[in-house]
Every structure is written in structure tokens, then in C-alpha cells.
Chains A and B, each alone.
Chain A
């Protein structure tokens, strides 16, 4: 993998409607939503969209070695409202083929302001990664529509990006910030065959889970919903 001359790319996304990226490990029958996608979701979206843009062979040989290991930072939208929805779920009993209906809940998010993804890529791969970023059309569920409004060369504003709890600066208060579990690739040397089954086949889980802290604080509760507002970690003093 070429490591010389790395550059930061930032891609901003407008989320024009409601969206729902499920918190890992939350039950399908009671699914909580993330304010924005986690790092593994970003890496998988780069693979999926890369295949659409350039084909499997190019992604596997040229982009994947970078995608699996590149530093990623995610800046959530300025304001995110989460609402829990009751939905009908249908399950067919395997033996009787009888259809049963059950209520399930799923949180759905609505955002104001742009969400930004920062990737560190080799300067020589800037163009293909820019094209892939511009083509990502959803995060999480396929109906979680997104549209890329701009791609620039800019360093991440890490104070406003989600961070693993283990890297959170110990002198800052943790309490006001929204935290949850997110998934990430388990290893920067993971192989193509480890990952591809996620989008087509079966294999041992290539992801690992970790607790992350979002630069979002809860502004209001509204019925079963809550409103989160972005705030830089350093803006909250002890």
C-alpha cells in the first residue's frame, strides 16, 4: 500500500429526509438510531459505492487496501432529532407458513446541517475516492437518503467528530455528550474475503465493537423523542 503523500478529503452530505442507522447490538424489535453513521458503515459504503463506480476488480486491488486502514473522522450534523416509531413487522412461521404481525419500534432521525466525512487518502488516489464519496447516496438503511454537496481538501475538525471513548481526552467532562456503541473493522489488515461476505455471503464477523462519544449534547426531550445539538468537546468546561 502506498503511504507517501497522504491528503485529507472532506465530503459533506445533506440528509434531505429522515434516516435510520441502527446502533450495533440494538434489537431489531427495538432498534435505536445513530445520529450519523459509524466508521465501519463509512468503510462499507466506500466499498459498495466503489464497486458501482469502478467494478469489483479495481476496488479489490486498488481501493480496498486504503479503505480498510485509512483514518476516518465523522462530524455529525448540527442538530439531530431522534423519534421512536412503532412499525408493523411480519414473521412467517417456517412450519405452518402462518403470517404473524407484531409491533416493533425503530428510532428515526431528522437532521439540520451537513454531515461531514473526513478520509485520509494517498494523493494519487484522490480522484477515485472523490468520485466514490460523491456517489454515496445513503447511510445505513437504503431509504436513509443522502446527497453529497461538496468535496474539499481539508483537515478534520476533530473536536467536532465522533471519537472512541478510549481516546477521549481525560480532562474533559464526558457526561453531557451522547455516547453509544459503534462498529469498526477489527483489523487494518483485514482481507477482502473477510469483508465481502457482509455484502453478499457469510464469514466470521470482520467487525469489532467499541464505545464512542459524539460531540452532541441533549438539548430537549419531546415525548419519546430527543433533540441533540452539536458542540465541540473542548467547548464544555469542567
Chain B
């Protein structure tokens, strides 16, 4: 029997302010060929600020999670082994996977289980060339907000750079790229109780507790690394300087939501600290070392809880 040295947790939230210097982690695109456009978000107070999309953070988390899962021998589906962002949906047209079920996907792939997937429904063709297909989906267990720069603590520098044209005749081209620096507010929620489950019906699929723990631990490690070693666009030549990390980790031990509060607010740590209770553990950090210590404790001493709803199933 598997010896339990860890305590169950239902959900974790991260409410952080992270400081990045000289980065271009998320961009809206370019104006054709010679200017990279940063991402911008209008805030409800009427100011416009720099933003980093949650899509890109989630994409890099999934890639790192796949590496951690491979390292511990946790199964991945062929699509996730090939780092195909469609995950299980990439398999559905292959003959061997035509009758794929949600149980099979969740059981056989830790990335699909954690980051979710969507196989769209399809009607049968009238000429009989394609069969009807049932929709299969699971919501992501980990959700990233946009990272929003604090408007008064953000700066942008336009850098003139050169790049080679597509052909010899085009020669060298001038291009403008922005290097942005500032403090960003970011929220992440990880619903660990959904690990190994069909979360539409809240039915347990992965009943091997050690496999659920492996996936949980890998998810937290990838999250820790993503904050301590920034990932995103243009890092090959603009890897950001991480100069600060402060915030709150809220851990909900039993069924319920871990609180989220915007780190755009000056007093976000005080507000969240006041919510500590028997069922909600609040840990604050002011440095990367403190963050690392809290994450190590989470990774080593927790496991995904089973939701109360599970008791309603056979």
C-alpha cells in the first residue's frame, strides 16, 4: 500500500508581482516588417498599460510540464510527446485513435490531463466519407491571467536592430523592437483536485494515487520554474532580467476556491493575508528565495485532494 506522507490540497492560487527588466515576452505582432508591437491593455481606471498574454505563459508551462513528466516516466500521448499544442485533438484522425475516450486520454497523458484538450464534435458526411464524432473535452486545471504592468512602474525603450532579409538582394533591414521593463501583476490558479479526473462529471479516472502525485508535483515544479526563469517570446536575444518577486500563495485544503486578488492593488498582500483560515493557508513572500522555499514545501508535502463530489460516485 502507498504510504501517505503528504497532505491533500484542493486548489492553489498565486497572486504575484513580478519584476522583469528589458523583455519582450508577449507581443501583439508587427506592423508588416519593421516594428514589433507590444501588447497593450486598457485598465478600468482609464490608463493603458503593457500586458503579457496568459496564452503564452500557459504554452510554456505545458512544454516544461511535458519535460518533467517524461523525466519521471509519467505517460504522455503521442501528440504531447511531439509537443503538438493540439494535444489529444491531434490524434483523433489516426486510425488507432478513432474511438478515443475521455478515460483513455486522461489516463494516458499527464499534459492532456493538466492542460485540458478539446476534440470538437463532427457531423457525419452525407456521402458517408466521414463518420460522426462526439465532442471530448476537459478544462485546463491551470489558468493564467494576463500579466499587467503597474502603469506607474513601467517603462519602454525602442531599440533599433538589424536583421537579414529573406534573400541576398534584400540585404540588411532595420527593425524597431521594444524592450519593456516593469513590475507586473499576475494571477495563476491551479485546481489540483481535478488531477486524473473527468471534470465534467467529476469522476475519478486515474485511481493510482502515485501517478496523480507525480503529475501534481511536475505541475508545481513547472510553475515554479516559469516564475523563476521567465519564458515567452523573443527570449533567445531578450531573456529578461528577473529583479523581484513578491506575493501570496493561497492553498485551499478542502472543496472550495483559493482566493484571488489583483496584485495591481498596493495592499493585495494585506487583503489576502486577512483571509487565512483553517481551510485556507496563506503564505506570503517578498523575495525569490522565500518563494522557492514555499514552493519546495508545496511540492514535497502535498498531494491532490479527492473532491467531495467523488463520494457521490460509485
Please pick, from B29, B41, B85, B93, the residue contacting A108 in the complex, using a CB distance under 8 A: B41
- Known contacts A16-B262, A52-B199; A142 and B143 CB within 8 A of each other: yes
16 more contacts with CB within 8 A, not counting A79-B45, A147-B257, are A16-B260, A17-B145, A55-B312, A57-B312, A58-B312, A77-B44, A81-B43, A110-B148, A138-B143, A142-B116, A142-B139, A142-B140, A145-B260, A147-B261, A201-B134, A225-B42
Cβ of A62 to closest chain B Cβ, rounded Å:
12
B307 touches A135 (CB 8 A): no
In the bound complex, what is the Cα–Cα distance between A51 and B255 (angstroms)? 12
* Of B47-55, B106-114, B165-173, B290-298, the one touching chain A: B47-55
- Known contacts A90-B85, A137-B189; A16 and B201 CB within 8 A of each other: no
In the bound complex, what is the Cα–Cα distance between A98 and B199 (angstroms)? 31
Please pick, from A56, A200, A220, the residue contacting B135 in the complex, using a CB distance under 8 A: A200
Whether A117 is near chain B, meaning CB under 8 Å from some CB there, is: no
In the bound complex, what is the Cα–Cα distance between A108 and B144 (angstroms)? 14
- Known contacts A145-B143, A145-B260; A55 and B86 CB within 8 A of each other: no
Whether B313 is near chain A, meaning CB under 8 Å from some CB there, is: yes
Whether B202 is near chain A, meaning CB under 8 Å from some CB there, is: yes
In the bound complex, what is the Cα–Cα distance between A74 and B289 (angstroms)? 43
In the bound complex, what is the Cα–Cα distance between A92 and B144 (angstroms)? 25
For residue B42, which residue of chain A has the nearest CB? Answer: A225
B-side interface residues toward A, CB under 8 Å?
Answer: 15, 28-29, 39-46, 48, 51, 53-55, 58, 85-86, 90, 93, 116, 121, 134-135, 137, 139-140, 143-146, 148, 185-187, 189, 191, 199-202, 255-257, 259-262, 307-313
B146 touches A18 (CB 8 A): yes
Whether A85 is near chain B, meaning CB under 8 Å from some CB there, is: yes
A202 touches B309 (CB 8 A): no
Please pick, from B40, B48, B51, B202, the residue contacting A51 in the complex, using a CB distance under 8 A: B202
B44 touches A111 (CB 8 A): yes
Cβ of A121 to closest chain B Cβ, rounded Å:
20
A85 touches B53 (CB 8 A): yes
In the bound complex, what is the Cα–Cα distance between A90 and B146 (angstroms)? 20
Kindly list chain B residues whose C-beta atoms are within 8 Å of the C-beta of A108. Answer: 41, 146
B54 touches A143 (CB 8 A): yes
For residue B255, which residue of chain A has the nearest CB? Answer: A53
Kindly list chain A residues whose C-beta atoms are within 8 Å of the C-beta of B28. Answer: 85-86
Kindly list chain B residues whose C-beta atoms are within 8 Å of the C-beta of A142. Answer: 116, 139-140, 143
B201 touches A83 (CB 8 A): no
Please pick, from B39, B48, B135, B259, the residue contacting A202 in the complex, using a CB distance under 8 A: B135
Kindly list chain A residues whose C-beta atoms are within 8 Å of the C-beta of B260. Answer: 14, 16-17, 145-147
B144 touches A81 (CB 8 A): no
A51 touches B145 (CB 8 A): no
In the bound complex, what is the Cα–Cα distance between A145 and B257 (angstroms)? 11
Cβ of B100 to closest chain A Cβ, rounded Å:
15
Please pick, from B45, B90, B135, B256, the residue contacting A201 in the complex, using a CB distance under 8 A: B135
Whether A227 is near chain B, meaning CB under 8 Å from some CB there, is: yes
In the bound complex, what is the Cα–Cα distance between A79 and B146 (angstroms)? 18
Kindly list chain A residues whose C-beta atoms are within 8 Å of the C-beta of B310. Answer: 55
Q: Please list the 6 inter-chain residue pairs (A to B) with the smallest Cβ-Cβ separation, ordered nearest first.
A: A55-B312, A17-B145, A225-B42, A112-B44, A79-B44, A81-B42
In the bound complex, what is the Cα–Cα distance between A54 and B310 (angstroms)? 8
In the bound complex, what is the Cα–Cα distance between A145 and B261 (angstroms)? 10
In the bound complex, what is the Cα–Cα distance between A44 and B46 (angstroms)? 32
B200 touches A200 (CB 8 A): yes
For residue A49, which residue of chain B has the nearest CB? Answer: B257
B257 touches A148 (CB 8 A): yes
B187 touches A87 (CB 8 A): no
A223 touches B48 (CB 8 A): yes
Within A20-59, which residues are at the interface with B (CB < 8 Å)?
48, 51-58
For residue A90, which residue of chain B has the nearest CB? Answer: B85
In the bound complex, what is the Cα–Cα distance between A224 and B204 (angstroms)? 45
B312 touches A110 (CB 8 A): no
Cβ of B228 to closest chain A Cβ, rounded Å:
21
Kindly list chain A residues whose C-beta atoms are within 8 Å of the C-beta of B139. Answer: 142
Please pick, from A83, A94, A112, the residue contacting B40 in the complex, using a CB distance under 8 A: A83
Whether A134 is near chain B, meaning CB under 8 Å from some CB there, is: yes
